[in-house]
Structure 1
Amino acid sequence: MKALKIIGIVVLAIVVIFTIAVLVQPSQAHIEKSIVINAPAASVFPEVSRFKNFTAWSPWSKMDPEVKQTYEGEEGTVGAKMMWDGPKTGKGSQEIESIEENKSVKCALRFDGYDGVFYSAFILEPEGEATKVTWTYDGANGGFGAKAMWLFMGNMMKDQYDQGLMDLKKLVEEKPKPEPVPADSTAVKQ
């Protein structure tokens, strides 16, 4: 009888701790991760603004190699869309909402089974000869269920963003560098 009472108290304590942990989660989820890539923004931008390029370094493409992806619209423009359906990543879509060449891309994310729209953005800032790339995620954590999911998924997503940025850096830095154009290349030769 004493053992059952102790087990009951332990279970109750775990439930209370879990409930408190969920309730203190933010009502707005936010992730912001950055990395410096030793390349100009013009070399980075195509990798973050074109969905077919995004899949080459995306952490979710590696996590779910069986995912099926389809595309709509003109790559790298407002309205371009990627849909995915995979056994591990689930089903959803990503659509470009705003884009500024060599500076930023903002996408709306929708996940089947979840209400609302979530947002992801890439911000590119010059840092000497390099480019600082910041990848963000924002979305509402409305209700107990969403906050509970964020409690478990938030840190995992942060790790995935870090891994994705490291893979992006490696991909861009290993590509051949374009030859610099001489300053007088437009001059007419006589």
Structure 2
Amino acid sequence: MRFVKLGIISIIVFSTLIFLGSLLLPTTAVVERTGVIQAPIDSVYAHIGDLKAWEDWNPWFKPDTSATIQFSEQTSGTGAWYTWTGTRSSGKVTVLDSDTKKGIHYSMDVKNMKPVDAGIELKPTADGKATAIFWHMQTKLGMLPWWKLRGFMADKIFGPAMDKGLTTLSEICEGRNGN
């Protein structure tokens, strides 16, 4: 009986310490990547502004090979969307704002995950020959420790895929991928 009491007290103390420790973690996860693409803004925008073009560069376009993709009637501009349904995940990406000279702002809702607010911002470089790109994703995590821990690791989990996506986008826009 004594060991049972000690076990219960240990679990309560351990759980309390985890919860109190999680209060020190941020309630929002942010992942950001930047780069410069040696191509004009309209060329870069053509690949980020049309959701069908995401298949060529976006690492999360088709999260699993069995996914079925469905597009809205309009695949670019404000209000455009696509959904995917697969064995591992399902969700929807919706373009909230689109500007051919500034980039796009979109939301991503994935089943069993917190909603993601994201954007890809474009700016011409000083010489006007290249495009500076800023890709960012933000998720409001709430107060639950397991979500906050995942948010704490978000950059390590999602950052490498974003790097790969920007590299592929750069290769496409600069004509280095054989297209």
Amino acid at match of 1:113: N
**Secondary structure of the equivalent of 2:98?**
strand
Contact 2:104–2:120, Cα closer than 8 Å, also in 1:
yes
User: How many residues matched?
Assistant: 164
**Secondary structure of the equivalent of 1:143?**
coil
Alignment-derived partner of residue 143 in structure 1: 143
Which whole-Å deviations, capped at 9, do the CAs of 1:15-68 have from their partners, x for residues lacking one?
899767644331111111111000000000011111110111111247523322
Distance 1:87 1:19 in 2: 33
Contact 1:122–1:136, Cα closer than 8 Å, also in 2:
yes
Q: Which runs of 5+ in 2 are unaligned?
A: 1-13
**Secondary structure of the equivalent of 2:160?**
helix
Alignment-derived partner of residue 42 in structure 1: 42
Alignment-derived partner of residue 120 in structure 1: 118
**Secondary structure of the equivalent of 1:59?**
coil
Distance 1:21 1:172 in 2: 45
Contact 2:95–2:107, Cα closer than 8 Å, also in 1:
yes
Identity of aligned residues (%): 21
1:114 Cα shift?
3.6
Alignment-derived partner of residue 30 in structure 2: 30
Alignment-derived partner of residue 161 in structure 1: 162
Moved more, 63-72 or 14-23: 14-23
1:165 Cα shift?
0.5
Alignment-derived partner of residue 172 in structure 2: 171
Cα–Cα, structure 1 residues 166 and 19, in superposed 2: closer, same or farther, change >3 Å? farther
Amino acid at match of 1:112: K
Alignment-derived partner of residue 102 in structure 1: 101
TM-score by length of 1: 0.74
Amino acid at match of 1:148: L
Cα–Cα, structure 1 residues 18 and 49, in superposed 2: closer, same or farther, change >3 Å? farther
Distance 2:21 2:36 in 1: 34
Alignment-derived partner of residue 51 in structure 1: 51
Q: Which runs of 5+ in 1 are unaligned?
A: 1-13, 177-190
TM-score by length of 2: 0.79
Distance 1:20 1:80 in 2: 42
Cα–Cα, structure 1 residues 93 and 155, in superposed 2: closer, same or farther, change >3 Å? same
Give the RMSD, CA atoms, in angstroms: 2.7
